[in-house]
Amino acid sequence: MQKQKLTNNELLLLYLTAFRNKRFDLLNLSEKQQKAMHQLTNGQVEEVMFGGAAGGGKSFLGTSWLFLSCLAYPETKYFIGRYSKKQIIQSIVETTIDKVCDTFSIDKSLFKVNTLQGFIRFNNGSNINFLELMYKPNEDKQYDRLGSTEYTGGWIEEGGQVPAKAHEILGTRIGRQLNDKYNVKGKLLTTCNPAKNWIYRIFWKPYKEGLLEDNKAVIQSFITDNIFIEKEYKQRLEKLKGQSRQRLLLGNFDFDDDDNDLTTNSARQDIFNNNHITTTDKYYLTADIALSGSDDLSIFIWNDLKVVEIKEFNKANGEEAKDYIQAKKKEYKIPNSRFVFDADGVGAYLSGFFKGAVSFHGNGKVINNENYENLKTQCAYKAAEYINDRKIWIANVKDNDSQDKILEELEQLKERDKEKDGKLKLIRKETMKMNIGRSPDRLDNIIMRMIFELKQRNNPVTVVL
């Protein structure tokens, strides 16, 4: 195109015509961005994951797709979703929109940005809403705030920071605003750097194994694919070390595990699929009981090393916990000798009702004087061993959001003070809480279950959680 011979309005008209006709080679995009545009406008694919290394043109792709779509198809409605609205304003409004407008000769009089309410409104009636996707358990546990608006399509930016539940709900809101009128298929674009959460499980792992569903597409983008990247930015990325280098420079979704990790990523991912594990007639019950107003109550029912049922609810009091446990012990014929619970707070209340059960109390002595800081650490190392050996199967958890929470907690099985001589140590629970923003209740259940795998004395064993 000869920019100097055309007005801005004429150039924009040509760009929009090229966009409608899928002539993306005329849009000043990299080859990877052109490939993504084809997937975002064809008739089969519903979800596109575009990502990998930093600097691969993710934000420019997403903003270009939404702006060209809104201008090409009047009165359509799209969204940009990110962990917080502030991040959308910083990354898109304050940075990327100017680049997109300059590239496609879009006059800023054609739209208005409202950062206070969070939307971009175009003169032709099209709209882009800003969606804050952070998890708000106290006010919107099921993401009901996302379920009332119908969209033509949408974009989740930095998907590695976004909960799986938000992705799941947004997938139901697209394809519902003038898609038939314009013969435009509803599309959900997710841009991201490598992450080992729902993105890895839904997109990367199936893609790597050649098992990706036909309605999904994965396009890796690296800094070398971005012909417009600034040299200084690339030089900064090249100075990165370790995991950050693998993720942000090399775009490696299978980046190495932390040196302090007690489990491998592949073993953690497999915990939901270890269906080779055989069951027995022995059932166990583990219970991480919360103080009222504190963390959640979490109860696992085990058939040997297979988790067959998980119960979680907020702010359980002792009476509710006792009644539920009694019912499950009766249903699964679980004797007190195969029931373990933490004995702090509400847990201490339960000890009067379940004589002979195994109670976890802080800093209990290790079994056989092995070289661990305390019994909890010994159980945690045993849990890591079993996870790596694919001896534990969480069979009843199928939804992505719950799996992500469990995986986040399993990642907290990390060694502390590895460089120092002495007893083996686990990172402190306060550190785990800081890392994931909550108490690792599900992990605690797995750790407690290991007490039955260790050699026990005849007397009840005590452990701290």
Per-residue pLDDT tens for 402-447?
A: 888 899 899 999 998 876 778 999 999 888 887 776 789 999 999 9
Choose between 238 and 301: higher pLDDT. Answer: 301
Query: What mean pLDDT comes out for the span 190-211?
Result: 90
pLDDT of 259 reads: 77
Query: What mean pLDDT comes out for the span 121-139?
Result: 92
Q: Are 155 and 394 in contact (CB under 8 A)?
A: no
| H helical segments located in 204-335 | 205-208, 231-238, 242-244, 265-270, 318-332
User: Which stretch, 192-201, 210-219, 322-331, has highest mean pLDDT?
Assistant: 210-219
Q: What is the pLDDT of residues 342-359, one digit of tens each?
A: 875 555 556 556 777 888
Long-range contacts (CB closer than 8 Å, 24 or more residues apart) made by 377-380: 377/423, 377/424, 377/425, 377/426, 378/454, 379/447, 379/448, 379/450, 379/451, 379/454, 379/463, 380/262, 380/413, 380/426, 380/447, 380/450
Q: Are 119 and 128 in contact (CB under 8 A)?
A: yes
pLDDT of 257 reads: 67
Q: How far is Cα 99 from Cα 101, in angstroms, rounded to an integer?
A: 6
Choose between 429 and 450: higher pLDDT. Answer: 450
pLDDT of 400 reads: 80
458: pLDDT strictly greater than 60: no
- What CATH number does domain 265-452 carry, 3.90.1280.10, 3.30.420.240, 3.40.50.410, 3.40.50.2000? 3.30.420.240
User: Which stretch, 116-125, 170-179, 256-265, has highest mean pLDDT?
Assistant: 116-125
β-strand partners of 286: 300, 340
Between the CA atoms of 116, 122, 125 and 130, what dihedral angle is there, to the nearest 10 degrees?
-40
Q: What is the pLDDT of residues 54-100, one digit of tens each?
A: 888 999 999 999 999 999 999 999 999 999 999 999 999 999 999 99
Q: Which CATH class is domain 3-249?
A: alpha beta
* Burial environment of residue 280 by CB neighbours within 10 A (0 to 12, 13 to 18, 19 or more): exposed
pLDDT of 459 reads: 46
Q: How far is Cα 246 from Cα 242, in angstroms, rounded to an integer?
A: 7
pLDDT of 398 reads: 86
Q: Which two tokens stand for residue 403?
A: 């799996």
Give the helix/strand (H/E) hosting 78: strand 77-82
Choose between 438 and 124: higher pLDDT. Answer: 124
pLDDT of 139 reads: 81
Residue ranges per domain, the chain?
A: 3-249, 265-452
Q: How far is Cα 223 from Cα 96, in angstroms, rounded to an integer?
A: 17
Q: How far is Cα 278 from Cα 38, in angstroms, rounded to an integer?
A: 47
Q: How far is Cα 120 from Cα 288, in angstroms, rounded to an integer?
A: 46
pLDDT of 263 reads: 93
pLDDT of 464 reads: 46
Q: How far is Cα 369 from Cα 331, in angstroms, rounded to an integer?
A: 37
258: pLDDT strictly greater than 80: no
What is the CB neighbour count within 10 angstroms for residue 224?
A: 14
Q: What is the pLDDT of residues 286-334, one digit of tens each?
A: 998 755 444 567 899 999 999 999 988 765 566 777 888 999 999 999 9
Q: Are 429 and 439 in contact (CB under 8 A)?
A: yes
